[in-house]
Amino acid sequence: MELFANLAHGFVVAFSPINLLMCLIGALVGTLVGVLPGIGTIATVAMLLPITFGLPPVGALIMLAGIYYGAQYGGSTTSILVNIPGEATSVVTALDGHQMAKQGRAGPALAIAAIGSFFAGCVATVLIAVLGAPLTKLALAFGPAEYFSLMVLGLIFAVVLAKGSVLKAIAMIVFGLLLSMVGSDIETGASRMAFNIPELADGLGFATVAMGVFGFAEIIRNLDHGAEMDRNLVQQKITGLMPTRKDLIDSSPAILRGTVLGSILGILPGGGAVIASFAAYTLEKKLAKNPSRFGRGAIEGVAAPESANNAAAQTSFIPLLTLGIPPNAVMALMVGAMTIHGIVPGPQVMQKQPDLVWGMIASMWIGNLMLIIINLPLVGIWVRLLRVPYRLMFPSIVVFCAIGIYSVNNAPVDVVLAGAFGLVGYWLIKHDFEPAPLLLGMVLGPLMEENLRRALLISRGDWSVFLSRPLSAVLLAIAAGLLVLAVLPTLRAKRDEVFVESEG
């Protein structure tokens, strides 16, 4: 019954007025920014990271978690109403959601998205609480060799599940690893690739790179299309938010399946929310008696991916909280935030700072409840926000990001660096390199180096240690197997098929 004691403790922390307020503000602001078309979850979290710096650690992380869910929910709202998915996870939602909106059923579509997300959120919260403690014990059995192999596996997962070329995704990860080497060496203190620039002595700021590659680069790229993006906003007034009894009956099995699928994919390193929503949509289409309804406003096509991506979003906290390994780019940002507050994520956090961990877990549930309560009545406001023209929005975002980056260290150099990474990110997008693996590599870089060094030191320089320790060998074998599967032509075709779905 330790589980319930822990959860109860978490709820006590999360229900303190100040943390409730943080959760509410996070969810609101996250939705507000997430609704803006063209700004994805990662960009939202990166942009809003600085506003949490002044808060106490527990409040800051609760708020960040709120921002994350809010941004995701905001993305679904945009894709249903305007058919511009703000982020990759809601691409599939747009397929049927926007069709429903065109048929005047935007209300039920939004409501089902919210209900599905809430249900998935409840299940995932319990799952985190259940799996947290045993996984932490497992983590304590991990030596440096196992940690290193696990991170390799995580990175390979990220590559296999990413869209586009496997080779380019690996190149991006290694680029990220290389970027993380800038700064002082942990063991010897030697300055590496810093060119005697004092601001680089501590390494490249994670928030700086993220804001550049995701924030500024997105803005520059959007400007390519001309400031006026195509917006077929649903004009009719949204009436009748509540879904009918038939809607509920149709969508409940889809929500259930989406939740299960999402929870599993979220735990896997590299999996994350994107693949979960794609997989859930494909599954529903395969199971449906009449698959031709999909793409024409089938409510299951909204319910399943929305539940799946929310479940995955939450269960992806599991590897972060128990092993200290971020499974995707958003979690990588969370690590950045924790580090700024002086918290090193990993198994020790669970034991040393139960307030933080369980408070955050409980606040996830509360956050989901808040989303359902605040967002449905606020749909009207979000719609009005969508009418703000991009020509006014983009300079505002530029200025807001610039102030945000400056406020992290009060360093003007950081702002220039972010701008430079914005151009790098623009170049990467133009050459079809995905920036998300880069970010993941950058966060995992120092961890990987440290564990690699330690493992080799313990084994007296013998590289076979990674294969002679059984757990490590298994992890590496899975990684190798996945990589082989990913480059096999048959699976590649399947994988591309899943992603093509979004353009169909």
Partner 1 sequence: MSDTPSEAPVKSILPKWVRGPQDFVGGLAMMAVALFALWASSDLQGMHGFSFGAGTAPRMFAVLLLLLGGAVALMGILKDGPHIAAYSWRGPLFVSAAIVFFALAIRPLGLVVSAFAAFLIAAMGSHETKWVEAIIVGACLTVGCALLFPYVLGLPMPMFPRFLIQ
Pick 75 or 445: Cβ nearer partner 1 = 445
Minimal distance, residue 45 CB to partner 1, in Å: 16
Nearest residue (CB) to partner 1, 2 versus 224: 224
Q: Which long-range contacts (CB under 8 A, 24 or more apart) does 386-391 make?
A: 386/35, 386/37, 386/78, 386/81, 386/82, 386/231, 386/233, 387/233, 388/36, 389/227, 389/228, 390/37, 390/38, 390/222, 390/227, 390/228, 390/229, 391/227, 391/228
The minimum distance between CB 304 and partner 1, in angstroms, equals 33
Q: How many CB atoms lie within 10 A of CB 431?
A: 8
Contact status: 403 vs partner 1 (CB under 8 A): yes
Phi, psi of 83 (to 5 degrees): 65, 20
Closer CB to partner 1, 47 or 109, in the complex: 47
The pair of three-digit structure tokens given for residue 175, joined into one six-digit string: 């680029």
The residues that bridge with 192 in the sheet, in sequence order, are 183
Given 236, 292, 410, 490, the residue binding partner 1 (CB under 8 A): 410
Chosen residue from 43, 123, 170, 210 binding partner 1 by CB under 8 A: 170
Q: Which residues 319-378 are close enough to bind partner 1 by CB under 8 A?
A: none
Instruction: Tell me the C-alpha distance between 281 and 408, whole Å.
Output: 40
CB of 281 to partner 1, least distance (A): 27
Q: What is the closest distance, in whole angstroms, from the C-beta atom of residue 364 to partner 1 in the complex?
A: 23
Angle of CA points 202, 204, 209, to nearest 5°: 155
H/E run at residue 192: strand 191-192
Q: Of residues 391, 467, 468, 485, which one binds partner 1 by CB under 8 A?
A: 391
**Any contact of residue 461 with partner 1 (CB under 8 A)?**
yes
Please give the span between the terminal C-alpha atoms of the chain, in angstroms, as a whole number: 49
> For residues 5 and 416, what is the distance between their CA atoms, to the nearest angstrom?
48
Of 417, 439, 410, residue with least CA distance to 200: 417
Cα–Cα distance measured from residue 368 to residue 222, given in angstroms and rounded to the nearest whole number: 31
Which x/- pattern, by CB under 8 A, does the window 50-69 give for partner 1?
A: xx-xx---------------
Question: Which range in 65-73, 81-89, 317-325, 401-409 contacts partner 1 by CB under 8 A?
Answer: 401-409
Q: How far is the CB of 22 from partner 1 (least distance, A)?
A: 12
Among 201, 223, 474, 487, binds partner 1 (CB under 8 A): 223
Taking Cα atoms as reference points, which of 442, 454, 453 lies closest to residue 183?
Answer: 442
The whole-angstrom separation of Cα 15 and Cα 150 is 35
Phi-psi region of 16 (alpha: psi -120 to 50; beta: other; left: phi over 0): beta
* 464 in contact with partner 1 (CB under 8 A): no
245 binds partner 1 (CB under 8 A): no
Whose Cβ is closer to partner 1: residue 293's or residue 341's?
Answer: 341
The least distance separating partner 1 from the CB of residue 499, rounded to whole angstroms, comes to 16
Q: Is 178 in the site for partner 1 (CB under 8 A)?
A: yes
Judged by phi (left if over 0) then psi (alpha if -120 to 50, else beta), residue 84 lies in beta
Residue 492 CB, shortest distance to partner 1, in Å, is 13
Q: How many residues make contact with partner 1 (CB under 8 A)?
A: 69
Our CB check for partner 1 shows the closer of 2 and 228 to be 228
- The site string for partner 1 over 415-434 (x = CB under 8 A, - otherwise) reads xx-xx--xx--xx--xxxx-
CA–CA gap between residue 345 and residue 100 (Å, rounded): 42
Which of 3, 18, 192, 488 touches partner 1 (CB under 8 A)?
192
Residue 495 is encoded by which pair of tokens? 């994988």
Structure-token pair, residue 169: 């995704």
- Toward partner 1, which CB reaches closer, 215 or 327? 215
Based on the shown chain and the rule CB under 8 A, indicate whether residue 175 belongs to the binding site for partner 1: yes
Decide whether 103 or 396 has the Cβ nearer to partner 1: 396
The tokens for 71 are 């941004």
**Looking at 113-121, 273-281, 387-395, 470-478, which segment touches partner 1 (CB under 8 A)?**
387-395
The correct pick among 288, 413, 478, 482 for binding partner 1 (CB under 8 A) is 413
CA distances from 485 to 160, 480, 493, 495 (A): 9, 9, 11, 11
- Crossing angle between the packed helical segments 217-224 and 412-430, to the nearest 10 degrees: 50
230 binding partner 1? (CB under 8 A): no
Q: Is 121 helix (H, G, I), strand (E, B) or coil?
A: helix
Residue 225 as a binder of partner 1 (CB under 8 A): the answer is: yes
Instruction: Work out whether 21 is an interface residue with partner 1 (CB under 8 A).
Output: no
Q: Does 456 bind partner 1 (CB under 8 A)?
A: yes
SS3 487: helix
Q: Give Cα 72 to chain centroid, integer Å.
A: 9
Footprint on this chain of partner 1 (rule: CB under 8 A): 50-51, 53-54, 165, 167-168, 170-171, 174-175, 177-178, 181, 185, 187-188, 190, 192-193, 195, 216, 219-221, 223-228, 389-392, 394-396, 398-400, 402-403, 406-407, 410, 412-413, 415-416, 418-419, 422-423, 426-427, 430-433, 445, 449, 452-453, 456-457, 460-462
